[in-house]
Amino acid sequence: MTASNEPSAHPSGNASSEGPSVPIHLRPARDGDVPALVPLLLRLKRLNEEFDPLLKVREDADEQARHLLHANLADPKAVVLAAEGVGADKDKVVGVVRAIVRERPFYVPEFEGVILDIYLLPLYRRRGVGEYLLREVSAALKAKGAGVVTAEFPSQNEIASRFYQKRGFRPITAIHARSL
Protein backbone atom coordinates (compact mmCIF):
# COMPACT_ATOMS: atom_id res chain seq x y z
CA MET A 1 0.00 0.00 0.00
CA THR A 2 1.47 3.33 -0.99
CA ALA A 3 -0.18 6.56 0.05
CA SER A 4 0.69 8.60 -3.01
CA ASN A 5 1.37 7.89 -6.65
CA GLU A 6 3.78 10.81 -6.76
CA PRO A 7 6.22 10.32 -3.92
CA SER A 8 8.21 13.40 -3.02
CA ALA A 9 11.50 13.48 -1.17
CA HIS A 10 10.30 16.00 1.38
CA PRO A 11 7.33 15.83 3.69
CA SER A 12 5.82 19.07 2.42
CA GLY A 13 3.10 20.28 0.11
CA ASN A 14 -0.65 20.58 0.15
CA ALA A 15 -3.19 17.83 0.43
CA SER A 16 -4.81 16.81 -2.84
CA SER A 17 -8.03 14.98 -3.51
CA GLU A 18 -6.05 12.04 -4.89
CA GLY A 19 -4.25 11.23 -1.68
CA PRO A 20 -1.92 12.58 0.93
CA SER A 21 0.84 14.91 -0.21
CA VAL A 22 3.20 13.35 2.31
CA PRO A 23 3.88 9.93 0.94
CA ILE A 24 3.95 7.20 3.48
CA HIS A 25 4.14 3.51 2.96
CA LEU A 26 1.34 1.70 4.75
CA ARG A 27 1.59 -1.99 5.48
CA PRO A 28 0.37 -4.57 7.98
CA ALA A 29 2.47 -4.36 11.13
CA ARG A 30 4.60 -7.34 12.15
CA ASP A 31 6.15 -8.50 15.40
CA GLY A 32 9.42 -6.75 14.55
CA ASP A 33 7.58 -3.39 14.50
CA VAL A 34 6.42 -3.65 18.10
CA PRO A 35 9.41 -1.75 19.60
CA ALA A 36 8.66 1.14 17.19
CA LEU A 37 4.88 0.99 17.70
CA VAL A 38 4.95 1.06 21.50
CA PRO A 39 6.24 4.67 21.74
CA LEU A 40 3.61 5.83 19.24
CA LEU A 41 0.80 4.25 21.25
CA LEU A 42 2.22 5.78 24.43
CA ARG A 43 2.38 9.23 22.82
CA LEU A 44 -1.30 8.86 21.99
CA LYS A 45 -2.21 7.71 25.52
CA ARG A 46 -0.21 10.62 27.01
CA LEU A 47 -2.02 13.01 24.72
CA ASN A 48 -5.30 11.55 25.98
CA GLU A 49 -4.10 12.05 29.55
CA GLU A 50 -3.67 15.74 28.77
CA PHE A 51 -7.30 15.86 27.74
CA ASP A 52 -8.71 14.08 30.80
CA PRO A 53 -7.34 13.21 34.26
CA LEU A 54 -9.41 10.01 34.26
CA LEU A 55 -7.13 8.81 31.49
CA LYS A 56 -3.95 8.91 33.55
CA VAL A 57 -1.36 6.65 31.95
CA ARG A 58 -0.18 3.67 34.02
CA GLU A 59 3.48 3.30 34.90
CA ASP A 60 3.63 -0.06 33.18
CA ALA A 61 1.85 1.23 30.07
CA ASP A 62 4.78 0.43 27.79
CA GLU A 63 4.79 -3.20 28.88
CA GLN A 64 1.02 -3.36 28.46
CA ALA A 65 1.30 -1.87 24.98
CA ARG A 66 3.91 -4.44 24.02
CA HIS A 67 1.71 -7.36 25.19
CA LEU A 68 -1.39 -5.92 23.55
CA LEU A 69 0.33 -5.38 20.22
CA HIS A 70 1.76 -8.89 20.14
CA ALA A 71 -1.71 -10.25 21.00
CA ASN A 72 -3.33 -8.13 18.28
CA LEU A 73 -0.79 -9.25 15.70
CA ALA A 74 -1.70 -12.86 16.43
CA ASP A 75 -5.46 -12.16 16.41
CA PRO A 76 -7.26 -12.67 13.08
CA LYS A 77 -9.97 -10.22 14.23
CA ALA A 78 -7.46 -7.39 14.72
CA VAL A 79 -5.90 -5.02 12.20
CA VAL A 80 -2.65 -3.21 12.96
CA LEU A 81 -1.16 -1.10 10.17
CA ALA A 82 2.22 0.58 10.31
CA ALA A 83 2.93 3.75 8.32
CA GLU A 84 6.54 4.14 7.27
CA GLY A 85 7.96 7.55 6.49
CA VAL A 86 9.93 8.77 3.51
CA GLY A 87 13.17 10.64 2.94
CA ALA A 88 15.08 10.88 6.20
CA ASP A 89 12.28 8.86 7.82
CA LYS A 90 12.53 6.01 5.34
CA ASP A 91 12.01 2.67 7.10
CA LYS A 92 10.97 4.55 10.23
CA VAL A 93 7.48 3.86 11.56
CA VAL A 94 5.79 7.27 11.77
CA GLY A 95 2.20 6.22 12.33
CA VAL A 96 -0.03 3.43 13.47
CA VAL A 97 -3.64 2.41 13.34
CA ARG A 98 -5.01 -0.36 15.52
CA ALA A 99 -8.50 -1.79 15.19
CA ILE A 100 -10.55 -4.87 15.98
CA VAL A 101 -13.69 -6.56 14.71
CA ARG A 102 -16.19 -6.96 17.53
CA GLU A 103 -19.59 -8.65 17.64
CA ARG A 104 -22.69 -6.54 18.37
CA PRO A 105 -25.00 -9.03 20.07
CA PHE A 106 -28.13 -6.86 19.83
CA TYR A 107 -27.76 -4.88 16.64
CA VAL A 108 -27.31 -5.22 12.96
CA PRO A 109 -24.89 -5.11 11.30
CA GLU A 110 -23.74 -7.87 13.66
CA PHE A 111 -20.05 -7.00 13.44
CA GLU A 112 -18.40 -3.64 13.88
CA GLY A 113 -14.85 -2.67 13.12
CA VAL A 114 -13.63 -0.56 16.02
CA ILE A 115 -10.74 1.83 15.48
CA LEU A 116 -9.05 1.82 18.87
CA ASP A 117 -5.96 3.90 18.15
CA ILE A 118 -4.81 6.09 15.31
CA TYR A 119 -1.65 8.14 15.63
CA LEU A 120 0.72 9.99 13.33
CA LEU A 121 3.89 11.83 14.26
CA PRO A 122 3.19 15.62 14.09
CA LEU A 123 5.24 16.20 10.91
CA TYR A 124 2.92 13.87 9.04
CA ARG A 125 -0.36 15.35 10.19
CA ARG A 126 -2.94 17.46 8.37
CA ARG A 127 -1.90 16.39 4.91
CA GLY A 128 -4.48 13.72 4.32
CA VAL A 129 -2.42 10.82 5.67
CA GLY A 130 -4.93 10.23 8.47
CA GLU A 131 -7.73 10.03 5.94
CA TYR A 132 -5.72 7.50 3.97
CA LEU A 133 -5.13 5.42 7.12
CA LEU A 134 -8.84 5.57 7.85
CA ARG A 135 -9.73 4.43 4.36
CA GLU A 136 -7.30 1.52 4.46
CA VAL A 137 -8.22 0.32 7.94
CA SER A 138 -11.92 0.55 7.06
CA ALA A 139 -11.33 -1.64 4.01
CA ALA A 140 -9.37 -4.16 6.10
CA LEU A 141 -12.14 -4.27 8.72
CA LYS A 142 -14.80 -4.72 6.05
CA ALA A 143 -12.79 -7.59 4.60
CA LYS A 144 -12.92 -9.20 8.04
CA GLY A 145 -16.72 -9.00 8.13
CA ALA A 146 -17.44 -5.62 9.71
CA GLY A 147 -20.61 -3.96 8.46
CA VAL A 148 -20.04 -0.69 10.28
CA VAL A 149 -16.92 1.13 11.41
CA THR A 150 -16.69 2.92 14.75
CA ALA A 151 -13.96 4.85 16.51
CA GLU A 152 -13.21 5.03 20.22
CA PHE A 153 -11.50 8.14 21.53
CA PRO A 154 -11.75 10.44 24.54
CA SER A 155 -14.68 12.83 24.35
CA GLN A 156 -12.33 15.72 25.09
CA ASN A 157 -10.01 14.87 22.20
CA GLU A 158 -11.00 17.64 19.80
CA ILE A 159 -8.52 16.49 17.16
CA ALA A 160 -10.13 13.07 16.95
CA SER A 161 -13.61 14.49 17.18
CA ARG A 162 -13.07 16.86 14.24
CA PHE A 163 -11.10 14.31 12.26
CA TYR A 164 -13.89 11.72 12.42
CA GLN A 165 -16.72 14.21 12.04
CA LYS A 166 -15.15 15.48 8.85
CA ARG A 167 -15.19 11.89 7.55
CA GLY A 168 -18.90 11.35 8.22
CA PHE A 169 -18.69 9.73 11.66
CA ARG A 170 -21.23 10.72 14.30
CA PRO A 171 -21.55 9.78 17.98
CA ILE A 172 -23.82 6.77 18.58
CA THR A 173 -22.92 5.77 22.15
CA ALA A 174 -21.08 7.54 24.96
CA ILE A 175 -19.15 6.38 28.01
CA HIS A 176 -19.60 8.65 31.00
CA ALA A 177 -17.34 8.31 34.03
CA ARG A 178 -16.76 9.52 37.57
CA SER A 179 -14.08 8.61 40.06
CA LEU A 180 -14.86 6.19 42.90
Ligand X SMILES: CC(C)(COP(=O)(O)OP(=O)(O)OC[C@H]1O[C@@H](n2cnc3c(N)ncnc32)[C@H](O)[C@@H]1OP(=O)(O)O)[C@@H](O)C(=O)NCCC(=O)NCCS
Chain residues in the site for ligand X (CB under 6 A): 44, 47, 117-120, 125-131, 153, 157-160, 162-163, 166
User: Between residues 111 and 164, which has the closer beta carbon with respect to ligand X?
Assistant: 164
The torsion region of residue 145 among left (phi > 0), alpha (psi -120 to 50) and beta comes to left
Q: How near is the Cβ of 136 to ligand X at its closest, in Å?
A: 12
Q: Nearer to ligand X by C-beta: 5 or 105?
A: 5
Taking the complex as a whole, the smallest distance from the CB of residue 155 to ligand X amounts, in Å, to: 11
- Give the DSSP per-residue string, 64-95: HHHHHHHHHHT-TTEEEEEEEB-GGGBT-EEE
Q: What is the DSSP letter of 62?
A: H
Give the residue closest to ligand X by C-beta: 130
Helices (H) and strands (E) counted in the chain, each on its own, are 4, 5
Q: How far is CA 77 from CA 43, 71, 73, 112, 141, in A?
A: 25, 11, 9, 11, 8
Q: How far is the CB of 180 from ligand X (least distance, A)?
A: 25
Between CA 101 and CA 107 the distance in angstroms is: 14
Q: Residue 62 or residue 105: which is nearer to ligand X going by CB?
A: 62
Residue 7 vs 110, nearer CB to ligand X: 7
Taking the least distance from each CB to ligand X, the nearer of 34 and 150 is 150
Helices 34-51 and 61-73: angle between axes, nearest 10 degrees: 120
